[in-house]
Amino acid sequence: MVNEKGYISIETENIFPIIKKWLYSDKDIFLREIVSNASDAISKLKKLHDIGEASLPEGYKPRIEVRVNKENGTIAVSDNGIGMTDEEVKKYINQIAFSGVKDFIEKYKDKTDDQQIIGHFGLGFYSSFMVSDKVTIDTLSYREGADAVYWESTGNTEYSMKQSEKNTLGTVVTLHIAEDSKEFLDVWKIREILKKYFAFLQYEIYLIDENKKKDEKKDEKEEDKPINNTSPLWLKNPRDCTDEEYKDFYHEVFLDFNDPLFWIHINMDYPFNMKGIIYFPKLKHEFEPLEGKIKLFYNQVFVADNIKEVIPEFLMLLKGCLDCPELPLNVSRSFLQNEGYVDKISNHIIKKVADKLKLLFNKEKENYEKYWDDINPFVKYGCLREPKFFERVKDIIIYKTINGKYVTQSEYLEQNKDTDKTIYYVNDEKQQAQYIQMFKEQGLDAVILNTLIDTHFISFMESNNREVKFRRVDADITGSMKSEDSNEEDNKKLAEKLEKIFRESTNKEKLKIKVEALKNESTPAIVLISEEARRFKDMSRTFGTNFNTADLFPDEETLVLNSNNNIIKRIAALLEEDNRKEDVKLAAAHVYDLAAMSQRTLEPESMTKFFARSNELLMRLL
């Protein structure tokens, strides 16, 4: 070939400034593109060899090298792949990479929002100019008799080409790093980028520090060790993987030293090619935020974390790796096209996760129950966010009960027929201990719903089955709690008699007073609060609404007095004695506070009065 100089076939010089500023926050993307091109070159050579159109050198082993020379200010990426002829350099470097570039420039030259540019133009080889003042290519094609080619450009539309002395198959791309990008000349920085994108690339990558003194043998050994794992666990057949391998891989990728609960190994070739492992992590404590990370790969090259177009939102609470070589990415390898195809992938992931949960429920019920405390926020969030997921798992949603058992919704209703399709629940076992005790004494059960998502989940479940209602244990009294010899007329008369004194003693004029003969004679009174009013206020606090909820739902609090309790009987009797009115008020106020404390923490002022009253009552006893 002859020496040649020319201009890249575009009609404007504005392309390089745009590339230069384009993805400044993701500047390291240049290395992903150059190394990915090197990997593609090796794949093409292997493919040609497989079909008999290319021969490989004796002892051929795919290899990519990234050489950093801080003194010279260069980064060189070399491969032993397919290489290029001079005509191919002209075609692929000078022409095709810039097809349609004029329209691109006209559309984006005045844009300042990087996100408006992303995905509309392939970075490819020219991403190297994001960090470089000059880029050279030295390449030798696999084609027999081809001359090696040297190409050079200094970041404008001018280039030069000539024959080179390269005598080994493949390509070397050398970047002369610009002054504003010198941080990329630090070997640790390059190692970090390579680990980010190519931890599992299928071909070995070697990072070489050309300024490092090689007077110690261990240095040479370090440079002969690839920085990547070419055979990630997801490529293996699930039947050939051990539990320890799954756990080790989880620790390696996510730097989480806790073992995962369980995992799903996806290994499919039809209707599309997708492999990966999704892990269910164990929560360290009840209030740990659910922050997962699903890493998406394209032919073992990392693309991004938690891409919502592929990964359903609720699955982002989990951790995992998914490799889908058929993802419809554009040439920048980052952004998805073909929405219908992506939806199919997303739906399949949903199906695989739901199927795994159903398999655990049906085949390993004991383990499923053991995992439930950790996975139930994920399952509930998935039901709220994804109707298809809910349809698949609605029959395996379980609830832990106050008796330590795990039941499905249908099992609870079957075992508690007296509740008339009402599911009673507890959201604070300590605070609601008295109510729990009353339930247990009557042979009733309640489920424990104490996570932040449960307020929303309860409403969701009611909307999907209008016949079933959820009620907190302090929202109602079931019929089985009432004594069989309870006389409604007598209770009504007693309520009218006690109503005034309890309102006066508590300074609550709107307090509802109700009398019931409860089977539990030791409990003087309980406080009930409207489920609807409490739930609405909880929602309002969650969403930070400013309007006064009391206007819509005033405090619908009911004090239920137990006519079978001796204290209530004594208060009713003392009302007949004029000289004991103050004693009765004192006792009534105390009964109310004790009942309220079984449901909630008293306000500071009420608590102060409670302690003062307790001291006074003790003094009267002594």
> What's the chain's average pLDDT?
83
8 Å CB contact between 542 and 564: no
pLDDT at 214 over 60: no
Q: What is the DSSP string of 513-531?
A: EEEE-BS-TT--EEEEE-H
Residue 173 covered by a domain = yes
Mean pLDDT of 412-421: 86
Question: What pLDDT is recorded for position 99?
Answer: 43
What is d(CA 498, CA 573) in angstroms, rounded to the nearest whole number? 10
* CATH number of the domain to which 594 belongs: 1.20.120.790
What is d(CA 438, CA 164) in angstroms, rounded to the nearest whole number? 90
Q: Which of 358-372, 492-506, 525-539 has the lowest mean pLDDT?
A: 525-539
Question: What pLDDT is recorded for position 579?
Answer: 81
Mean pLDDT of 178-184: 93
Question: What pLDDT is recorded for position 621?
Answer: 79
Q: Which of 29-33, 74-78, 194-198, 227-231 has the lowest mean pLDDT?
A: 29-33
Q: Which residues pair with 558 in a beta bridge?
A: 512, 528
Whether residue 38 is found in the same domain as residue 186? yes
Question: What pLDDT is recorded for position 325?
Answer: 81
pLDDT at 42 over 90: yes
Mean pLDDT of 582-604: 88
pTM assigned to the model: 0.78
Residue 506 covered by a domain = yes
Q: Is residue 523 classed exposed, middle or buried when 0-12, 13-18 and 19+ CB atoms within 10 A define those classes? A: buried
Whether residue 34 is found in the same domain as residue 134? yes
For residue 1, the one-letter residue type is: M
Question: What pLDDT is recorded for position 96?
Answer: 53
pLDDT at 175 over 90: yes
Whether residue 320 is found in the same domain as residue 207? no
Question: What pLDDT is recorded for position 331?
Answer: 40
Whether residue 156 is found in the same domain as residue 46? yes
* CATH number of the domain to which 412 belongs: 3.40.50.11260
What confidence tens digit (pLDDT) does each residue in 105-130 have? 454 455 444 333 333 333 478 788 88
209 confidence band (pLDDT: 50, 70, 90): very high
Domain boundary among 479, 500, 522: 479
For residue 5, the one-letter residue type is: K
Q: Which of 360-364, 406-410, 608-612 has the lowest mean pLDDT?
A: 608-612
Question: What pLDDT is recorded for position 71?
Answer: 94
244 confidence band (pLDDT: 50, 70, 90): very high
What is d(CA 314, CA 319) in angstroms, rounded to the nearest whole number? 11
Block residue for tokens 């002054």: 179
Q: Which of 108-117, 391-400, 586-595 has the lowest mean pLDDT?
A: 108-117
pLDDT at 474 over 80: yes
Block residue for tokens 């994001």: 130
Residue 392 covered by a domain = no
What confidence tens digit (pLDDT) does each residue in 499-509 have? 888 988 888 88
Number of separate domains in the chain: 4
Q: Tokens for 243?
A: 């539990």
What is d(CA 378, CA 571) in angstroms, rounded to the nearest whole number? 51
Q: Tokens for 28?
A: 């390291």
In terms of average pLDDT, the best of 101-110, 276-285, 358-367, 415-424 is: 358-367
* CATH number of the domain to which 289 belongs: 3.30.230.80
Whether residue 64 is found in the same domain as residue 164? yes
6 confidence band (pLDDT: 50, 70, 90): low
Whether residue 404 is found in the same domain as residue 314? no
Domain boundary among 338, 372, 406: 372
Q: Tokens for 390?
A: 């809910």
8 Å CB contact between 295 and 321: yes
* 3 state SS of 209: strand
DSSP state of 313: G
3-state per-residue secondary structure call for 214-251? CCCHHHHHHHCCCCCCCCCHHHCCHHHCCHHHHHHHHH
Whether residue 97 is found in the same domain as residue 163? yes
Domain boundary among 463, 479, 495: 479
Contacts (Cβ under 8 Å, ≥6 apart) of 239: none
Question: What pLDDT is recorded for position 532?
Answer: 81
What confidence tens digit (pLDDT) does each residue in 422-439 have? 999 999 898 888 889 888
Question: What pLDDT is recorded for position 161?
Answer: 93
Whether residue 63 is found in the same domain as residue 170? yes
pLDDT at 573 over 50: yes
Residue 384 covered by a domain = no
8 Å CB contact between 485 and 566: no
Whether residue 67 is found in the same domain as residue 197? yes
Q: Residue 397: left (phi > 0), alpha (psi -120 to 50), or beta? A: beta
Residue 175 covered by a domain = yes
Range of the domain at 492: 485-621
104 confidence band (pLDDT: 50, 70, 90): very low
Q: Tokens for 300?
A: 């073992």
Whether residue 62 is found in the same domain as residue 126? yes
Residue 49 φ then ψ, to 5° = -65, -40
Residue 228 covered by a domain = no
Q: Tokens for 323?
A: 């490799």
8 Å CB contact between 296 and 303: yes
For residue 13, the one-letter residue type is: E
What confidence tens digit (pLDDT) does each residue in 445-465 have? 999 999 888 989 999 999 999
2 confidence band (pLDDT: 50, 70, 90): low
Whether residue 262 is found in the same domain as residue 201? no
Residue 263 covered by a domain = yes
pLDDT > 90: what percent of the chain? Answer: 44
Whether residue 298 is found in the same domain as residue 314? yes
Residue 389 covered by a domain = no
Q: Tokens for 458?
A: 């309860």
